[in-house]
Amino acid sequence: MTDSPSPKPGKVLVPAENLRVFAAALLQKGGLSPDHAGITAEVFVWAAQRGVDSHGIARVPAYLELLAKGIANAAPEIRLESATPAAVVLDADRAPGPVALTAAAEEAVARARTTGIAAVGVRRTVHTGAIGRYVSKIAEQGLVGLAFVAGMPNMGYTGAKGAAVATSPLAIAVPADGRAPLLLDMATATIALGKIRQAKASGTPLPEGAAATEDGAPTTDPEKAVMPLPLGGAKGAGMSLAFELLTSVLVGAPIFADFHSGDPKGRKHRQNALLIAVDPAAFGGAEPFAESVEATLATLKTLTPADGAEGVYYPGERSAAVAAERAADGIPVAPKVWKQLTEAADELGVALPALAGERARSTARVVTERPHRYAKQLVSHLGRRAETSWDDERGEGRLLFRDGVSTLTAEDDALLLTVEAEGGSLERLETVVGRHLVR
């Protein structure tokens, strides 16, 4: 494992599970169902944990705005259309991208199990988030995943002035036994648009040749930059246009032509996607494929590093290492992003998450005619899960769990419970104690 980079001064560290619960609570208050809020939050935290901060927790305020303005549908009716055994169109009904593409990934895997290869076109979703998450879900099932996304024009096109095409990303995930999967997740731009927002939030200059002003002039000033430039010039521009044809045009929901038609409706935010799942078992066998993948990656790791290089890595290897480090240390959140999140939490009435190293705390008061008896029963029920103690004379007890503690205090007509826990364990301990309260 590589050394974990220290968070920059002013950044806060939040355990991944705390951040996921917090983001889900905000999104649920923003209008999403508990299930959809959980799916969306998981995708954001997945990205943040891997160091893709531009598509991580920083996206929550923007999603809340999409929901508030009705651009994202908080209660979508997602349906499958134009289905064949190996191909289907999923109409997302303006569902949040993580919700639509998670459903698409699951559908692609289910169909590929039968057909060997399956494609799911996604129509009418909104910002998809880090598409590496969806192909990773496919790889977790032992299949190869590919994804392409097209969106609103926000990037220059070679020879054209202003924003002409989208920073359409592509992602490929290949399962690797005993290793992190190979995961290629890239935009067709030199940098993703989210990286420009991230640079603005942190005040960091942009790389040379990465972004341009509104009139197309290259700039390193994140305050002046409004669009990224295509990766490799005409190559990235051409890939973006091709992805528009393979997604939007393929599913009958063109974006590029509508955007440039002059009709205001053509500028309404939306995205389309294509997810493909490939079952190696249909191409000579899953086991030989896995062995060959391992041999390929192992060979790559034997290559001699170039002068000044830290090592030779395959796509996704370093982000997996970052994920492991942040799982242990917490996820750093930039001050500007944290300010936006705390303001949203205050407005929506959501409690802030406990930071790394802090103990989260919650209390409950249960009205009962026999608080002492109720408390002793609770201590007895949880005896196998925790070290327990009860002082009948003082009316106080303690439940010591591996990752937290619960205290009990008997009042005249009620039992007062307090649960404290490290990291992301509070919700779990609340569930454990609460389950026994209703017995």
CA dihedral of residues 97, 129, 253, 160 (deg, nearest 10): 160
So what's the pLDDT on residue 194? 75
**Alpha carbon distance, N-terminus to C-terminus of the chain:** 46
- Measured CA to CA, the distance from residue 262 to residue 248 in angstroms comes to 18
| pLDDT string in tens for the chain (439-residue length) | 333 344 455 678 999 999 999 999 999 999 999 999 999 999 999 999 999 998 999 999 999 999 999 999 999 999 999 889 999 999 999 999 999 999 999 999 999 999 999 999 999 999 999 999 999 999 999 999 999 999 999 999 988 888 999 999 999 999 998 899 999 999 999 987 778 888 888 889 999 989 999 888 889 999 999 899 999 999 999 999 999 999 999 999 999 999 999 888 889 999 999 999 999 999 999 999 999 999 999 999 999 999 999 999 999 999 999 999 999 889 999 999 999 999 999 999 999 988 887 766 677 777 887 888 877 887 787 777 777 888 877 888 777 776 677 787 888 888 787 877 765 566 666 676 666 665 4
So what's the pLDDT on residue 359? 64
- DSSP assignments along 39-79, one per residue: HHHHHHHHHHHTT-GGGTGGGHHHHHHHHHTTSS-SS---E
- Measured CA to CA, the distance from residue 426 to residue 416 in angstroms comes to 17
So what's the pLDDT on residue 307? 95
Burial 89-126 (b: 16+ CB within 10 A, else e): bbbbebbbbbbbbbbbbbbbbebbbebbbbbbbbbbbb
So what's the pLDDT on residue 217? 85
Which pair of tokens denotes residue 91? Answer: 């109409």
pTM beyond 0.95: the answer is no
- Find tokens 């999403």 and name the residue: 32
Contact at 8 Å (CB) between 280 and 143? Answer: yes
203 forms bridges with which residues in the sheet? none
Which stretch of DSSP H or E encloses residue 149? Answer: strand 144-150
* Amino acid sitting at position 48: A
- Measured CA to CA, the distance from residue 171 to residue 55 in angstroms comes to 14
Nearest to 383 by CA among 369, 368, 397, 366: 397
* Amino acid sitting at position 389: S
So what's the pLDDT on residue 3? 39
Q: Cβ neighbours of residue 225 under 8 Å, at least 6 residues apart?
A: 196, 199, 206, 211, 212, 213, 219
Question: What domains, with CATH codes, occur in the chain?
Answer: 76-189+230-316 (3.30.1370.60), 359-437 (3.30.310.50)
* Amino acid sitting at position 116: G
